[in-house]
Amino acid sequence: MTIASLLAIGAIAFAVVRAQGSAPVPTGVPIAGNYTGALRPQIHFSPPEHFMNDPNGMFIDAEGTYHLYYQYNPTDIVAGNQHWGHATSKDLYHWENQQIAIFPDTPEEGIFSGSAVVDVNNTSGFFPNQTNGVVAIYTLNTPQEETQEIAYSTDGGYTFTKYSGNPVISINSTQFRDPKVIWHAPTSKWVMVVSYAQEFTIGIFTSSNLKQWTHASNFTNQGLLGLQYECPNMVTIPMNGTNELMYVLMISINPGAPQGGSITQYFPGSFNGTHFTAVDNAARIADFGKDNYAGQFFYGTPDGQPPIFIAWASNWEYSQVVPTGPLENWRSAMSLPRVNTLANITRTGYDLVSLPYDLSTVYDTQIAKNSSLGNGTLLLDYSTVASGAVYFEANVTGIPTINTTGTLNFTFTSSTTGESLRGGFFFGGDTPFWLDRGKIGGFDNPFFTDKFSTNNIISNGKFQLQGVIDRSIFEVFLDGGIRSAIATFFPEGPLDQLAISAGDLNPGVKVSVNVWGLKSAWAAEANSNGTVTGNSTTAGNSTASRRGIYGKLE
């Protein structure tokens, strides 16, 4: 990247940079986005323009602002020319786009995935006068090598300076990437997990200053291998019902997931400062769909509280060819922010329980309620919900364990095209929950799997179904998040009708249903011609004078 020119337009100074290809990449100001299109998610994060993949650098700062960086090609709608895009949020739904945070220095370079930490104690020496210094740890990709590098930010994570002593880890490999760093207080060390991608190995490195790293151990050939290990995370998660905090190592694999392409597996276990030991050698997968990859946990959420996770809601099998709005020129969304605990529910001993982070800031009005659906159908026209985004839940109680019968289905339909997204539950089956995106017409591809299912989890005669539909992305949570799935879908007409129906229930089984319309988080930010401009205050401002998402000075 060479800075070709420095322009001053009005009060906003920005440099136009010519990167790979010839399209300019703006610095110093966010890229503006049009979030109105029919396929644009309204409560999920998606980039203002162009192509996004893995979430990166996720951390929460001392003021309670969540920072989300992401793999970003600012010049095309396929992967390449990797930068770190950036957005911030107070509630994980209303995101404010920020200027691009980290840029490659030459057309051959890519700033690949990585993480960020707040160096409160100035262990790095970059921050003699502050407790809010941010260090990003990422992979620099070149045709010759993948090395781990660091960059530091004295303005709270908005702009970064690359460390002059880079790289901080170099092993002469082209397949060594995705460092995720946490602080391990018992040993007073930073701990990095990083992937030797094609050797099916997660390396654990430790450091006291983020600059010098020591290899501590390897976690090798565990669980599903696919053809590469990527994007490891190590995190502490509370075990439900106990006071225990367990370590969980999460590893994304791509290609070669059981459903094809990309997916994420997790290993519950323990960590003693140098070695991660899994409770067993089983692979556990938290998602029964195929749009949940490269997820990351926020650094800095309080110890002992359920950590918050965001994944890239796509799959490399089709991420670069799915439809995008003709005028909008963007591709890919993140998953909902999810709160995670572990629980011992199924026979496997450890289940990652994942639920949407508090949706209350995007709730609009309740649009349907039926506390005694019985063998009936709730029909709902939600075309008046401007966002097209809806949350629904159904509770089923009194399910017998013997001679169980009955079904509960939901169908979202487009009144203009007749396309539908459907799913449902067979209470009597061993593999009772199914999801079908095959009746949506806007995208057909041999890898875009239509149908998904998962096994029986009915316990105590109860079943709970929760779902969020958001124009082109659907997330479903079963029995309080014990099972979940993300499914992207690309309709030709907007889905605007919902039917929830139950039938053939055993006597005494009760079904209650609630449906809420959701408010668009992006419309709240758009200017009068519908454009979301993001944070246009100049770089380097203190967070104190930064303009917040609601236009107020924070």
- CA–CA distance, 308 with 178 (Å, rounded to integer): 19
Rank residues 401 and 545 by Cβ distance to ligand NAG and give the closer one: 401
By three-state DSSP, how is residue 109 classified? coil
Shortest-Cβ-distance residue relative to ligand NAG: 503
Rank residues 5 and 198 by Cβ distance to ligand NAG and give the closer one: 198
Pairing status of strand 330-331 against strand 50-60: parallel
Give, as ranges, the residues between 399 and 428 that touch ligand NAG (CB under 6 A).
Answer: 402-403, 407, 409, 424
* From 54, 109, 178, 351, the catalytic residue: 54
Rounded to whole angstroms, what are the CA distances from 134 to 50, 158, 180, 233, 539? 26, 9, 14, 19, 15
* From 149, 230, 287, 291, the catalytic residue: 230
Rounded to whole angstroms, what are the CA distances from 481 to 142, 247, 326, 356? 40, 19, 35, 9
By three-state DSSP, how is residue 63 classified? coil
203 is a site residue for ligand NAG (CB under 6 A): yes
Give, as ranges, the residues between 347 and 386 that touch ligand NAG (CB under 6 A).
Answer: 349, 353, 374-375
Rank residues 58 and 79 by Cβ distance to ligand NAG and give the closer one: 58
CB of 179 to ligand NAG, least distance (A): 14
Give, as ranges, the residues between 228 and 257 that touch ligand NAG (CB under 6 A).
Answer: 240-241
273 is a site residue for ligand NAG (CB under 6 A): yes
Give, as ranges, the residues between 39 and 68 that touch ligand NAG (CB under 6 A).
Answer: none
Give, as ranges, the residues between 89 and 148 that touch ligand NAG (CB under 6 A).
Answer: 120-121, 123, 128-129
Burial class, 90, CB count within 10 angstroms (exposed 0-12 / middle 13-18 / buried 19+): middle
Is there a catalytic annotation at residue 230? yes
- CA–CA distance, 517 with 387 (Å, rounded to integer): 8
Which structure tokens are listed for 18?
Answer: 């010519």
Give, as ranges, the residues between 432 and 461 that touch ligand NAG (CB under 6 A).
Answer: none
Q: Which of 361, 514, 536, 543 binds ligand NAG (CB under 6 A)?
A: 514
397 is a site residue for ligand NAG (CB under 6 A): no
By three-state DSSP, how is residue 353 classified? strand
- CA–CA distance, 210 with 191 (Å, rounded to integer): 9
CB of 144 to ligand NAG, least distance (A): 8
343 is a site residue for ligand NAG (CB under 6 A): yes
Q: Percentage helix, strand, coil, to 5, in the chain? A: 5, 45, 50
199 is a site residue for ligand NAG (CB under 6 A): yes
Residue with structure tokens 């019985």? 374
CB of 232 to ligand NAG, least distance (A): 13
Is there a catalytic annotation at residue 54? yes
Return left, alpha or beta for 427; rule: phi > 0 is left, psi -120 to 50 is alpha, else beta.
Answer: alpha
Q: Which of 24, 441, 442, 480 binds ligand NAG (CB under 6 A)?
A: 480
496 is a site residue for ligand NAG (CB under 6 A): no
Residues in the chain: 554
Q: Answer yes or no: are the C-beta atoms of 81 and 71 closer than 8 Å.
A: no
Burial class, 54, CB count within 10 angstroms (exposed 0-12 / middle 13-18 / buried 19+): buried
Give, as ranges, the residues between 4 and 23 that touch ligand NAG (CB under 6 A).
Answer: none
Catalytic residues: 54, 230
By CB under 6 A, name the binding residues for ligand NAG: 34, 36-37, 120-121, 123, 128-129, 172, 183, 185, 196, 199, 201, 203, 215, 218, 240-241, 272-275, 277, 325, 327-328, 343-345, 349, 353, 374-375, 393, 395, 402-403, 407, 409, 424, 464, 480, 501-505, 507, 512-514, 529-531
